[in-house]
Structure formats: C-alpha cells, structure tokens
Amino acid sequence: MTRPAPARSPQEPADTVTGGIGTSPLRPDGTLKVRGEFAYSSDLWHEDMLWGATLRSPHPHARIVRLDVSRALAQPGVHAVLTHEDVPGENLYGLKYQDTPALAEDRVRYQGEPVAILAADHPEIARQALKHIVVEYEVLEPVTDPERAAHDETLPKLHPGGNLVRYQRIVKGDPETKADVVVSGVYEIGMQDQAFLGPESGLAVPDDDGGVDLYLATQWLHVDQKQTARALGLPPEKVRLTLSGVGGAFGGREDLSMQIHSCLLALRTGRPVKMVYNREESFFGHVHRHPAKMYYEHGATREGDLVYVRARLYFDGGAYASKTPVVVGNGTTLSVGPYNVPNAKIEGWGVYSNNPTCGAMRGLGAVQPTYAYESQMDKLAAALGMDPADLRIRNAMSEGSTNVTGQLVDFPAPVAELIQRLKDMPLPPERGEDADIRDLPGGASNVTHGEGVVRGVGYGVTIKNISYAEGLDDYSTARVRLQVLGGEPVAMVHTAAAEVGQGLVTLQQQIARTELGVPRVTVHPADTSVGDAGSSSASRQTYVTGGAVRNACRAVADAVYSLAERRLGRSATGMSLAGGKIVAADGEVVASLVDLLGEEIVEETREFHHRKTYPLDPETGQGDAHVQYGFSAHRAVVDVDVELGLVKVVQLDCAQDVGKAMNPDAVIGQIQGGSAQGLGLAVMEEIQVVDGKVRNPSFTDYLIPTVLDMPPMRIAVLERPDPHAPYGVRGVGEPPTISSTPAVANAIRAATGLELPRVPIRPEHITGT
C-alpha cells in the first residue's frame, strides 16, 4: 500500500489570476496565505506520525570518546535513536566538497553539530529523551581566527587536507605600479544570519518499496535528493522530494538540515516522521554568511582615476566547506566593484575553523568586499577632495569594459546612470525643531529631543554575478502541457524550481500566458518527478527557469502549429497563439485551440542552459567566469545620536537595473526586502561568536530590522535588456541587499567623521566606549 501524501499538502493555488510578462498579476498563493491555509513545511501533518529531534554538540571542537543511546531508547514513547553507525550509505555530504558528516563520528567541529537523532510520540518526549543520550567528549582547543587558519601550519588540522578550503589569486596589469594618491584600510564584517521566519522542517513518509517521500522546504530539490539518497544508500529515484510551503530562504536552505535525519528515522521506524527546528536550533541548524577580514589599498591619479587595487580577503567558512569555494570565487572576482581598474592584485582565502559553518546567503561573496571597497571609495574621495558620487561615476564600468579577470562586459552596465539617478533624487527635508520624537534615533523611548543628533548621507554601489559561475552548467528544466479542460484551453507548467517567497510561481504563469496566449495556467507543485531546475539562489531562477518555461512553451506552440498544418492544410510559417486562438501570419484566425486540440494533449519538456562560463586560471585568476551581472546602488540618509551611539536611517533610496521587469511589483518587493537585510547588516545583525560559541541564538538577541527600523524608500528601476538573457532579464534578488550595507555605513561615517571599519556598527563604535 502506498501511503497518502500528508494532510495540508500539496498546495492548490488559485489559477484565476491573469497577466503576462511585464505586468504585475497578484500572487496565485496570496489568498491561501492570507487565509492561513497555505501549508508550510512545519504545518505538515500525518496520522500516526512521530516527531524527530536532534542531539547537538555543546562544544565547538571535541573528540567523541563514548556514545551510548541505550537509555534514551528505553524511554517510553521513543521509537528509534540513531547515530552515525545507523547511516546505511555514505556518512559525508556537501554542496561542493563531501566533507560534512550526516551524524558526527569521532569528532565534532562546531557547536551544534548533530551527533544523534531520535523519534518519539510527542515533541516534548523527544526533547526530554535527548537528555538520556550519553556522549563523553574530550574537549579540544578550537581554531577560531580565520587569518591564522590560513597561514599558521601549527594549528590543529580540522580536515585531512588542512585548514584551507580555497585560495584564489587575481593579477591584472602591473599590480606593483605606483599612484599619486593612496588610501588603505582594514575592514571586518560580522556573521549575518538569513533569519528566514519559517523554521527548518519537513515530513518524511516511508513507502513500501523501501523508499521514502520527503515533503520539505528547500531551495533545490534535486541537490537535496542526491545528497540524501547517497546517505541513505538508496538510488535517487527511491528518495522522492516534494516542495512544501517555504517561509523564506535567502541561501540558508541550500545546505541540508533535517533531510537525511528525518528520512533515516522514517525508514527505521516505518512511520512518518516530522522534524521542526525551534528558533535556537535553527541558528545551529543552518549555515550563515561568512564573516570576513579584508585588507584594501586603492591607488588613484590626482584627477580621481583608479590606478590600482590591492586586496587580501579572508573568509571564515567555519567547520565545513559548504559554499566557501564559491565565496572565494565571487569575493575575489567582484573585489574591485563595478569600477574600471587597470591594475590589481587580489588574494582570497576561504578557511576551515571551529566557528559555525558558513555558506550561502543572499549576495554570496559580494557583500563582504562591497562593504570594504565602498568604504575605500569614500576614503579616496575624501583624500582627493571629490564628491563621493562623482568619484564613483568617474570610474564606473560600462558596456565594453573589461573586468578584473579580463572578461569583457558585453551587455549593458549602466552603473554611472544608477548613481546619477540617486544623486538627482531630492533629499529628505532637514529635521525641524518640532520633529516627532518617534522619528529620532532611539525612537519612542524618548532618549533625545534632537540634541547631539547629526545627519549624514552615504552611497553604496555594487556588482553581483548572476547564476552559478566558473564553468558550471547551471541549467533548468520545464515541462509544459496544453489541453482543453472544461471547454477552455489550459496550460500546466511543471518544474522543480523552488518558490521560496520571491514570486516564481506567479512568474511561471506569466511566461506561459504570454507564450501560449491562454489565460488559464496552473503550476504543478515542484517535485523531483520532473528534471532538475537548479537552485533558487544566485538571482538565477527568473533567468534560468524562466528560460526553460519559455523554451517548453515555444516547443508546445510549435507542436500546435504542426498540428494545425496537418489538420487544416495551412502553412505553419508565421503562426502565433493569442487569446486561445491560432493566428496566421496575416492575422487571420486559423482555429481556436479548443477546436483544434479536442481531446489531444500537447506536452513538451525543455531545458535552458545559459551561455558557457570558464574556470579561473589558478595562477592569474583570469577567465570568463560569469554569465551576467546585476547592478544596484543605494543612497542612505541617517541621523546619528553621537552621545548614545544610536542610529536612525531616515531615508534609503535605491536604483537598480533589472534588464526587464518581468513583474514590476515583485521587483520592487525584492528591492525593499533586500535593502532591509542590508540595513540590518549595517547596524544590528550579527551572530556573536566567542571561542567558537554562539552567544545570541534567538530573536531576542539576534536583531533583525522591524518596521520601525526601515525608512521610506524611493526606487528607480532601470530596464536595459541583456541581449544574452531570456526576455533581457537580469537577476534581481541579491544586489539590493549588497549595496544598502555600505550606503548606511558610509552615511554614518559622513555624519560622525569616524573610521568605523567594521559592520554591524554598534553604539559603542560610535561613542568610543
């Protein structure tokens, strides 16, 4: 007997909304979501399901001397307790390198590393039973300084190959050349968390074929399937994944969390197993943004032309590799920003340490250097006596520029225009004597009436690569079906691409409506029964899955034209689909789809591959590594209470080029949400790690911006189509997160005159206490 899917899943979004590309139809899942009926992964439920729980290491670095689960297993209501010995397949997984144990064997490398798992009747029984698992640790000295981890051979080796995950050097022109004006600085960035609201969760349901169905929130079904199947020792087709509602992702769901664990427990107990992390566990259960230390030196002519950039970048990857190799690749190749730089020497190190593992987060690898080089640009402007925006415009790259790895920018790059747009926006009015106290730094807590408050303005500009880089064939697959249902032509789109909240389901409908000229389009739930769509990350889904849906729709349309040609004896040349009809080249209606198709179902599956990229030369770092870039710029206006160190961002404006605004409202939504995350990094968000231990794993102590922290935004969206991309699109999701951080930081510097070489900027950095 095959078990039924869990109650409350999959989703059935409304298919009645209309609107093609370039318009802003409402989300088909919006009504379900406002009714509270949309099933997120933590809402899944199955009769006779068990609850899983995870025992995690309290130590950042320790040897496991003894592990005894017998007492936990004897607890009433506990059905299974598993350790690494119960992993039937390979106990190592990983996105880039297979270096992460599903369950720790003889050693733990970070605080929170999973050591054992169990399943019980009630979540509280499960949590209590964890306390009966006996683990004896021999505590070891943790490796916590990434710069030392890169160079100090005497430190303990955390992995067989040592503590270096990746080193990359980029050399362009003559990096030793001299310049009239030189500025340098050392910049640090703290560990940011994705802090998606929906906790890691899912439901694993064992099947009678020895396989398992997993319903979960993720960013990439197929990569989870591959890694999970390998650990379970099963062929991938026996590990079937279905996307359930995702409560935000931002990169934090790229690595596995509960996938292998819930499946192991379900297969062992023969019962559905639900796992839901609580917030504290979520902080331990996913990877974070890489903290970094960056040494920068910029040289320029007296007129303000950049002559060289020299930089050394250290990225702390924590216990396991995750996306560290990509962070080093992106970090170095994007290290000089959207500027023309004839000479450069850049070095990047990504290292292992006993700090929490770091991996993907929105703006991957570009956030850190952007904060540093944009700080440098302001410093350089000050040294030259120039306006910071003018200095940036003067050096802005454009179409035809060659970047630091020697790659030609053969698509629009309107960087100067973005900055100019911001410059031209009006500034908010000066704060008057009668300012509402709630608008001052410190807000309603009435800490100032305006005395000691100074205002500053700052810019931040960024470049981010879209899609996966350095030679990866980063493709997507879509299946599109056209048939007559209830007397109407209906299209159905099926992909494995994850809707994580960004609006992908809406977009797939828009594309199908535009391509097939039918108003009714349904989107099949994303699962692994269709080909790989790649990850909902790197700002790539609209581009790549959008491209696949377009290709499949066009194949369906071609099949329809051939049918018309055969049945009606008309030449298919120049035919098109509109309003549910087939229209000939001369505009004459050939037939309605209803009449032509009758009972027939037309279905096509197509892939979209973006143009090829190439690995970087290991010695010189030269190479055509990237597919496309996204560009955005911010201008921040801040009020700073210099006595108390409190900051109020008064206005945050953004200009971004999106190539083609496929859904203009969704684009604005991405810019607003991304800008808030960047603001968070500038002034409040940090996982505080001391000696490898996390000090603030809760929403009480890890602060994300509230509605009181986000100021009004003016947004300018440019549409300069990329000729190489479907519909001219340019990835949208990441850039606004990246450029808002330096804009806010630079504004605080402008207000205070302080160096502030670290984000998040805390009150004590401003008051000097």
Which positions lie near another protein, rule CB under 8 A?
A: 8, 24, 26-27, 29-31, 33-40, 42-43, 45, 122, 124, 194-199, 245-248, 250, 276, 278-279, 436, 438-439, 444, 500-503, 665-666, 668-669, 671-677, 698-700, 704, 706-708, 710, 712-713
Find which of ligand FES, another protein, none residue 154 binds, CB within 5 to 8 Å per kind: none
The H-or-E segment that residue 36 falls in is: none
> What's the full length of the chain, in residues?
769
Q: Binding of ligand FES at residue 674 (CB under 6 A)?
A: no
Q: 647 contacts which partner out of ligand FES, another protein, none, CB within 5 to 8 A by kind?
A: none
Q: Which of 602, 514, 589 is nearest to 562 (CA)?
A: 602
CB of 479 closer than 8 Å to CB of 603: yes
**Strand ranges for 219-291 from DSSP E:** 239-243, 273-276
* Burial letters 754-768, b for 16+ CB under 10 A, else e: bebbbbbbbbebbee
Measured distance CA(574)–CA(576) in Å, rounded: 7
Which residue in 7, 74, 186, 197 binds ligand FES (CB under 6 A)?
Answer: 197
CB of residue 26 vs another protein: minimum separation in angstroms? 6
Q: Strands across the sheet with 475-485, in order?
A: 520-523, 488-494, 475-485, 602-609
How many residues belong to the site for ligand FES (CB under 6 A)? 3
- Contact pattern for ligand FES over residues 447 through 486, marking x by CB under 6 A: ----------------------------------------
Binding of residue 248 to ligand FES (CB under 6 A): yes
Residue 446 binds: one of ligand FES, another protein, none (C-beta under 5 to 8 A by kind) = none
Site membership for ligand FES, residue 503 (CB under 6 A): no
- Complex with ligand FES: residue 501 or 645, whichever CB lies closer: 501
Look at residue 454 and give the partner it binds from ligand FES, another protein, none, a contact being a CB closer than 5 to 8 Å depending on partner kind: none
Of 342 and 669, the one with the shorter C-beta distance to ligand FES is 669
User: Which is closer to ligand FES, CB of 365 or CB of 501?
Assistant: 501
Strands, E, within 467-617: which ranges? Answer: 475-485, 488-494, 520-523, 576-578, 581-583, 589-592, 602-609
Whose Cβ is closer to another protein: residue 657's or residue 685's? Answer: 685
Q: Is 142 a binder of ligand FES (CB under 6 A)?
A: no
* Nearest-approach distance from CB 225 to another protein, in angstroms: 22
Which pair of structure tokens corresponds to residue 275?
Answer: 């796992």
d(CA 347, CA 352): 17
One of 60, 202, 441, 501 touching ligand FES (CB under 6 A): 501
**645: contact with ligand FES by CB under 6 A:** no
Draw the binding track, 22-61, toward ligand FES (x: CB under 6 A; -: no contact): ----------------------------------------
d(CA 71, CA 134) in angstroms, rounded, equals 8
389, with CB counted inside 10 A (0-12, 13-18, 19+), is buried
DSSP state of 279: H
Q: Name the residue nearer to another protein (CB basis): 231 or 633.
A: 633
The binder of 237, among ligand FES, another protein, none, by C-beta within 5 to 8 A per type, is: none
Q: How far is the CB of 496 from ligand FES (least distance, A)?
A: 22
Q: CA of 36: how far to CAs of 9, 30, 31, 32, 531, in Å?
A: 13, 10, 9, 6, 31
- State the Cα–Cα distance between residues 443 and 447, nearest whole angstrom: 8
CB of 280 to another protein, least distance (A): 9
Q: What value does the CA radius of gyration of the chain take, rounded to a whole number of Å?
A: 27
- What's the CA gap between 72 and 78, in Å, rounded? 7
Rounded to a whole number of angstroms, the distance between the first and last alpha carbons of the chain is 68
Tokens for 61? 């670095």
Complex with ligand FES: residue 13 or 547, whichever CB lies closer: 13
> Which residues of the chain form contacts with ligand FES (CB under 6 A)?
197, 248, 501
